[in-house]
Structure 1
Amino acid sequence: MSTTVGVVVFPGTNCEMDAVAAVERLGGDGRLLWHANDHVAGVDAVIVPGGFAHGDYLRPGAIARFSPIMGAITQFIADGGPGVGICNGFQV
């Protein structure tokens, strides 16, 4: 059984398909998660890729924090689920 990794997509993120490809190259199942989803069910880990969708002209994550998926990711990580942020995705 392979690990399923959700890769969050916001309008303006970049390299989300590269993250999916990296997961799959390592034998995992990469799945795109749209930012408007309010859950991360069915994944074993989460990646928040970089880009400029997060409102960094204000401060990193200023816009992204209003997306429904961020509450789900916060709870997922608080419950012990692994999460990785890349570049601006790390700052979110």
Structure 2
Amino acid sequence: MSLLWFCLIGIAAGWLAGQLMKGGGFGIIGDLVVGVIGALLGGFLFGNLGIGAGGGLFGSLVVATIGAVILLFIVRMVKRA
């Protein structure tokens, strides 16, 4: 069940990150995939920095969205080069 929640939060985070980041985007499917991968990145970064975003759905969504925004930023920088 936790894998399902992880995927759903990642999808929501990808959509939010796509809305927050200005630009052409990668389409709905691309942004959702980036959201799931960004959720992993956000969890990794926050865990290594020792930052807790609180528990629960909202904290997980914040961490995943921050990770997705960072990942979208990096992907767009690479795409331009």
TM-score between the two structures when normalised by the length of structure 2: 0.29
Q: Which has the higher contact order (CA 8 A, sep 6+)?
A: 2
Q: Which has the higher helix share?
A: 2
